[in-house]
Amino acid sequence: KAKRAVDGDIAIKRNRYIDLSAPNKKVNYALAAKHRALAGIKGYETDLTTLPAQEVIGHYRRLFNIEKSFRMSKSDLKARPIYARKQDSITAHLNIVIAALAVAHLMETRSGQSIKRL
């Protein structure tokens, strides 16, 4: 696609493999080769040096479930808006929401259906 854009066959929109700094536009084949070599490789960065690599990967794989739970808590459980002003009332509201989230997660796990379908 970058070569076709440089040759003038298609319009240059935004292409990371076209070097626009040169006097004539040219394809950056080195960058394309680097990206092709790294395709499919995933890296994880952590400051926990004593944790085994497989455990770090396992935690990142479970991160999706945590993010899904927070999305569910905000939308399906209607955790917002909170119309409370006192700290105790806000804490109680969030505790109820988190308890409802735990129950909803249990219902999803046991039934095999999403909470919206239930």
Residue range 63-118, pLDDT digits in tens: 877 777 666 666 666 666 767 788 888 888 888 878 888 888 888 889 988 777 77
Task: Show Cβ contacts of residue 96 under 8 Å, excluding neighbours closer than 6 positions.
Answer: none
Per-residue pLDDT band for 10 (boundaries 50, 70, 90) equals: low
- The pLDDT value given to residue 87: 86
- The pLDDT value given to residue 5: 66
Task: Show Cβ contacts of residue 110 under 8 Å, excluding neighbours closer than 6 positions.
Answer: none
pTM (predicted TM-score)? 0.40
List the structure tokens of 76.
């399906």
Q: Convert the pLDDT of each residue in 13-48 to its tens digit.
A: 666 677 766 667 777 788 888 888 888 878 888 888
Measure the CA–CA gap between 22 and 63, rounded to whole angstroms: 43
Measure the CA–CA gap between 68 and 55, rounded to whole angstroms: 21
So where are the chain's domains?
A: 2-38, 53-111
Neighbours of 81 (CB within 10 A): 6
Please give the sequence-ordered ranges of beta strands (E in DSSP) within 9-58, or none if there are none. Answer: 18-19, 26-27
